[in-house]
Amino acid sequence: MSTTLTLTRGDITEQAVDAVVNAANSTLLGGGGVDGAIHRRGGPDILEECRALRDGTYFRGLPTGAAVATTAGRLPARWVIHTVGPRFTHQEDRSELLASCYRESLRVADELGARTVAFPAISAGIYGWPMEDAARIAVETVRAAQTSVEEVRFILFDEAAYEAFARQV
Ligand code: ADP
């Protein structure tokens, strides 16, 4: 089955989709950017589940490129899929880890039975990935993925991000 890719300018916490993807950090205990917005708007249930994950399977933290789901609390979505993007560096090519965030999030979405999934531009904020390249990796990886997800919606926070993604689709 083919997956439809769509672009929306806006705030990921407002998306009425089955699952929203969080650009988390490995602590799973909150941060800035998308992560901060999701925990603020979603309420304490999300953090509580994240803490439980840290007490169990992910006691060392969620590895970069991996993904795990929790409830979405008060968000319109049903689930939050947390993934940890790589920090951008000129010293090392971490593209494969960024691609892994998209692939692993879609794998988790398939496990949940999610049909619509919203992604932010993972790593392209605090983690410093150049937007043009982040958009290319995001779109190429989602296009190549084997998934039952019917719609992948990229949520772009500003015009520059939207334009960068629009050049790739
Ligand atoms: P990372 O730490 O992986 O770089 P960030 O959350 O800092 O993640 O940023 C990722 C991208 O998401 C950036 O382009 C940022 O502008 C954007 N962003 C920040 N807040 C939101 C939001 N509420 N909804 C959608 N995108 C957002």
Chain-centroid distance, C-alpha 93: 20
- Ligand 1 centroid–CA 53 distance in Å is 23
Pairing outcome for strands 19-24 and 79-84: parallel
Is residue 55 annotated as part of the catalytic site, yes or no?
A: no
- Ligand 1 centroid–CA 37 distance in Å is 9
Q: How far apart are CA 19 and CA 145, in angstroms?
A: 17
Q: Is the ipTM of this complex over 0.95?
A: yes
pLDDT tens for residues 6-37? 999 999 999 999 999 999 999 999 999 999 99
DSSP class of residue 13 equals: G
Q: How far apart are CA 5 and CA 104, in angstroms?
A: 17
Q: Write down the pTM of the prediction.
A: 0.98
pLDDT tens for residues 33-62? 999 999 999 999 999 999 999 999 999 999
Beta strands in 4-148 (DSSP E): 4-9, 19-24, 67-71, 79-84, 116-119
- Ligand 1 centroid–CA 145 distance in Å is 23
Q: How far apart are CA 41 and CA 60, in angstroms?
A: 26
Q: For the chain, what is the mean pLDDT?
A: 98
From 12, 17, 34, give the residue whose CB has the most ligand 1 atoms within 8 Å, as the site to mutate.
34
User: What is the enclosing helix (H) or strand (E) of 116?
Assistant: strand 116-119
